[in-house]
Amino acid sequence: MMDSVIDLRETEPGIVQLTMQDKVHKNGFSEALMNGLVQAFETIKNNERFKVVIVTGYENYFASGGTQEALLAIYEGRASFTDVNLYSLAQDCSIPVISAMQGHGIGGGFIFGMFADFIVLSKESIYTTNFMKYGFTPGMGATYILPQKFGVSLAHEMLLTAANYRGAQLEKRGIPYPVLPRNEVLAYAYELARQIADKPLHSLITLKDHLVGPAREQLAAIIKKEVQMHEKTFHHPEVKERIMALFGK
């Protein structure tokens, strides 16, 4: 499958690479990218050849989260981050997913990558949960998945401060994931993928279902609470001012 913003192709037997390449929005969650991601994972679901998915971006961008227009729509009450369920696409996928985060992961784009079964970061790239920078509380399941992946202390720091962290900084903080030079991230992901693709499909599906089952069961309640926090925090005038003044900076 090939279109302007998503490239989905089986690159080796059993291995499918999903490349996000919305260069106009720097892999922000434009309507085209969101629809493309949903369609791509539906295609993966319906193809019994695939055993493992590698999700990656282009050049120095992995995914940049909500666009300015989308954030303003939520502020105005015309939209919610739950309108399109991007956050758990990787977790809900029946086969293992590797986030080859070769580029910047920003806000919801970073959290999208965190829901994968395997995560590979780059030393040079910026990773941030920048929701509070704009004055509203985190969404996309961030309050659940980030403590699960990075530990409570670092996750709370990232969520509350909305600071930027280079991959090299996160490596020094002891995150349990490989952090490599950008040009080595995808190759490392393929090494992992080949080890996974060697296994029987039915066993991969059965084990992943067991491993992520509790998270799948808990996530709905977390999302509900995040939406409730948005109702309290997203619609203040200061939020719009921050979105207009700070977006992309």
Catalytic residue numbers, as ranges: 230
Residue appearing with tokens 């991969």: 204
Residue appearing with tokens 């390449």: 21
Whether the CB-CB separation of 11 and 49 falls below 8 Å is answered with no
Beta bridge partners of 214: none
The number of beta carbons lying within 10 Å of the beta carbon of residue 156 is 14
Secondary structure (3-state) at 242: helix
Secondary structure (3-state) at 78: coil
State how far the Cα of 132 lies from the Cα of 107, in Å rounded to an integer.
Answer: 10
Whether the CB-CB separation of 17 and 54 falls below 8 Å is answered with yes
Query: H-helix or E-strand containing 105?
Result: strand 104-106
